[in-house]
Chain A
Amino acid sequence: MKYTLLIIFFFFYAGLSASTIRVGAKRAHKSIRSAIEKAVDGDTILVDAGHYKEKNIVINKHGLVLKGIDHPVLDGEKKYEIITIKANRVVIDGFKLINSGVSSLEDLSGIKIYDSRSVNIRNNILENTFFGIYLSNTIHITVENNRLTASSVEEQQSGNGIHCWKSDSLKVIGNVISGHRDGIYFEFVKNSVIWRNISKANLRYGLHFMFSNDDMYVNNVFRNNGSGVSVMYSNRIKMFSNYFEENWGDAAHGILLKEISDGFMEGNYFMKNTSAVYMEGANRIYMKRNVFENNGWALKIQASCSDVVLEMNNFIGNTFDVGTNGSLVLNYFKNNYWDKYEGYDLNKDKVGDIPYRPVSMYSMIVEKYPPAMILFRSFITTLLDKTEKILPSLTPENLKDSAPMMNKAF
């Protein structure tokens, strides 16, 4: 009984205290800043459509909900950071943020969140911001359904789309990011999920991971980024059903795995990348049921990798299936489908009877002497590859799939 009263009391207290403040040209509050000044913890601020030049909006009251009606425009006039959040449980919903200032010293952003938890950023449109959404030392933030577009040309003059630093339990869901330096950037971020985002035409990486452990990314599309996706110095990353497409260029790759341990990749689709997967110092990576199609190199696996397992992947129409730089091979290939496999299957168990060696002689030569690439698609390289297939001498003896599939693995 005692508790019921208490609960009812809190219920009413909360109901009474949270009021709604409206902002607009015809409302009592003409500016969002004055509305925030007036507001107390837990209030809702509804903003009418319009063009607001508010300099820097700082939100320092807990539980504020800022909601834009028909995407009111917040203009940073190319000088200011637009929204700065230093409070917990804040919601920013339905704004259009344009033209933040550019400063590498202060990392000016569209929305920046400092030392907060449980903030929700959703349904916003960010155009021409330096950094888009910037999370610094935060916990349990949701960034959902935002559209970020920047149009910078130089890497030094542009910031990241969604930049996350030293955070925990983030959810980055359904955002569309283009034209930034890195689409999504993770550094020291733990236990987070990146789901259903589209990151395309960014200057450097579509997704950039550094020192971030126990994260997962699922169903994302990374297309046509300067150099693809980079996952470095991280442990226990899970990657499911992502699309890595058209990362085509001199130093571009679908995904770069550098110093990664205990990763898991399943159901990813790599298409038209210069090199689809580039591995360096990767340990204990398990790759299963991925599709590699029409890439320059499907896999570049340096000799510094160990215990990488590739199982039931499809390799179709790649110029080179696997490239490597040494003769030491501590990785395992089994039951993959290789379209270049020329073996036979006498006992009809759908597994080829002779092993497939995915490293061609020419790819070894190119790895050692890059200028040999000028003989690309010449008669002699085809001839060399054929002789090497019959009598392997230069290609690593152990790099082979001893049970290649006759038909597509799935």
Chain B
Amino acid sequence: MNKIIKYVITDILRNRIVLVYTIFLLAASFSVFSLEDNSSKGLLSLLNIILIVVPLVSIIFSTIYMYNSAEFIELLLSQPLKRRSIWLSLFAGLASSLSIAFFIGAGIPVLIYQANMIGFTMIMTGIILSVIFAAIAFLATVKTRDKAKGIGASIMLWLYFSLLFDGLVLFILFQFADYPMEKAMIGLSALNPIDLSRILILLQLDVSAMMGYTGAVFKEFFGATNGLIFSFLILLFWIVIPVWYSTRKFNTKDL
């Protein structure tokens, strides 16, 4: 298993896309921090990068990588190896290289300029988002055999999580405007890892004061230790469930 992970990582490093991604993140975060006069505003700008670019790159890159290494997977399957361990080590290799890329690209600048609780939360959520979207990409690839269809599906998934879901939330809000929706919003936000991460980071920044009553309800929930544990558990579920489901599918898949 370790051998496969090592092989996947060296393969990813060799194809340079992840390297370019790392350099892009580095450049973006350093410029964001040096452009803004106070570093907490830099964090806010970086937030947008984390919430949009990181999921996009993770999901698209993972999908394409999986389709491109279809032959490699077939080769591995001809060896006396368990399907489960092949699939999981592929996932581990991809997820860890994306996380390392994020950590070097965005984590190090954040640690340099904002080595505090906010920065730490930001790095954590960035890494978790990288892993979650790699997991979702695995789900997309295992479901369809056709490459174009698979990539399309993962783009749609990204679009759903970063845009359409929020539109739905807005729609629900308008429909149920007469009801107290604050608590329900907490539940809704758990359905989207990007939203959950955004709220976690915003509550660490003191912009939560701007969020009025909703902000207060959220702060009460997510600010407490239980809320933090709950939200990180939810984020973990977002990794575990797609990976578990795709492994099951892969086990019985007719290649």
Name B159's closest neighbour in chain A (CB-CB). Answer: A379
B-side contacts of A383, CB under 8 Å: 163
Q: Does B51 contact A (CB under 8 A)?
A: yes
Contact with B along A312-348 (1 / 0, CB 8 A): 0000010100000000000000000000000000000
B214/A370 in contact, CB under 8 A: yes
A-side contacts of B209, CB under 8 Å: 248-250, 252, 274, 296
Q: CB within 8 Å of A: which of B147-169? A: 162-163, 166-167, 169
Q: Does A375 contact B (CB under 8 A)?
A: yes
CB-CB under 8 A for A380 and B167, given A371-B185, A374-B199:
yes
B210/A379 in contact, CB under 8 A: no
Contact with B along A243-264 (1 / 0, CB 8 A): 0000011101000000000000
A374/B211 in contact, CB under 8 A: yes
Q: Does A18 contact B (CB under 8 A)?
A: no
A-side contacts of B213, CB under 8 Å: 250, 370
B150 to chain A, nearest CB (A): 24
Which of B70-78, B89-97, B126-134, B174-182 forms part of the interface with chain A?
Answer: B174-182
B170/A372 in contact, CB under 8 A: yes
A349 to chain B, nearest CB (A): 30
Q: Does B47 contact A (CB under 8 A)?
A: yes
B206/A248 in contact, CB under 8 A: yes
B206/A373 in contact, CB under 8 A: no
Interface size on B, residues (CB 8 A): 34
Q: CB within 8 Å of A: which of B62-111? A: none
A96 to chain B, nearest CB (A): 36
CB-CB under 8 A for A373 and B174, given A379-B166, A380-B166:
no
Q: Does B48 contact A (CB under 8 A)?
A: yes
B210/A373 in contact, CB under 8 A: yes
A-side contacts of B207, CB under 8 Å: 296, 319, 376-377
B236 to chain A, nearest CB (A): 22
Q: Does B124 contact A (CB under 8 A)?
A: no
Interface size on A, residues (CB 8 A): 25
B-side contacts of A377, CB under 8 Å: 44, 47-48, 198, 202, 207
Q: Does A49 contact B (CB under 8 A)?
A: no
B-side contacts of A368, CB under 8 Å: 177
Q: Does B227 contact A (CB under 8 A)?
A: no
A374/B210 in contact, CB under 8 A: no
Q: Does A378 contact B (CB under 8 A)?
A: yes
A-side contacts of B166, CB under 8 Å: 375, 378-381
Q: Does B173 contact A (CB under 8 A)?
A: yes
Name B182's closest neighbour in chain A (CB-CB). Answer: A371
Name B199's closest neighbour in chain A (CB-CB). Answer: A374
Name A384's closest neighbour in chain B (CB-CB). Answer: B170
Q: Does A369 contact B (CB under 8 A)?
A: yes
Q: CB within 8 Å of B: which of A58-110? A: none
Complex partner residue of A296 from B47, B52, B177, B210, CB under 8 angstroms: B210
B-side contacts of A297, CB under 8 Å: 210
CB-CB under 8 A for A374 and B189, given A250-B212, A296-B210, A380-B167:
yes
Complex partner residue of A370 from B48, B163, B195, B212, CB under 8 angstroms: B212
Q: CB within 8 Å of B: which of A292-324? A: 296-297, 317, 319
B155 to chain A, nearest CB (A): 15
Q: Does A365 contact B (CB under 8 A)?
A: yes
Name B211's closest neighbour in chain A (CB-CB). Answer: A373
A379/B170 in contact, CB under 8 A: no
Q: Which of A317, A368, A370 is packed against the most chain B CB atoms within 10 Å?
A: A370
A379/B52 in contact, CB under 8 A: yes
B212/A373 in contact, CB under 8 A: yes
Q: Does B9 contact A (CB under 8 A)?
A: no
Cα separation A375 to B196 with both chains bound (whole Å): 11
A-side contacts of B163, CB under 8 Å: 379-380, 383
B-side contacts of A378, CB under 8 Å: 51, 166, 195, 198
B195/A274 in contact, CB under 8 A: no
Q: Does B61 contact A (CB under 8 A)?
A: no
Q: CB within 8 Å of A: which of B186-238? A: 189, 195, 198-199, 202, 206-207, 209-216, 218
Cα separation A375 to B51 with both chains bound (whole Å): 13
Cα separation A381 to B206 with both chains bound (whole Å): 20
CB-CB under 8 A for A373 and B47, given A248-B206, A380-B166, A383-B163:
no
A331 to chain B, nearest CB (A): 23
Q: Which of A296, A365, A369, A377 is packed against the most chain B CB atoms within 10 Å?
A: A377
Q: Which of B52, B170, B195, B210 is packed against the most chain A CB atoms within 10 Å?
A: B210
A321 to chain B, nearest CB (A): 14
B173/A372 in contact, CB under 8 A: yes
Cα separation A87 to B192 with both chains bound (whole Å): 70
A376/B170 in contact, CB under 8 A: no
B214/A374 in contact, CB under 8 A: yes
Q: CB within 8 Å of B: which of A356-395? A: 365, 368-381, 383
Name A317's closest neighbour in chain B (CB-CB). Answer: B41
B214/A373 in contact, CB under 8 A: yes
Cα separation A377 to B170 with both chains bound (whole Å): 14
B182/A380 in contact, CB under 8 A: no
Cα separation A379 to B195 with both chains bound (whole Å): 10
A-side contacts of B167, CB under 8 Å: 380
Given contacts A373-B210, A374-B195, A379-B48, list 11 more A-B pairs with CB under 8 A.
A249-B209, A252-B209, A274-B210, A371-B173, A372-B170, A374-B189, A374-B218, A376-B210, A377-B202, A378-B166, A379-B166
A-B contacts, 17 of them at CB < 8 A, read: A248-B206, A248-B209, A296-B209, A371-B185, A371-B214, A373-B210, A373-B211, A374-B195, A374-B214, A375-B169, A376-B210, A376-B211, A377-B198, A379-B52, A379-B163, A380-B166, A380-B170
Closest 7 CB pairs of A and B: A380-B166, A296-B210, A373-B211, A371-B181, A371-B214, A373-B214, A378-B166
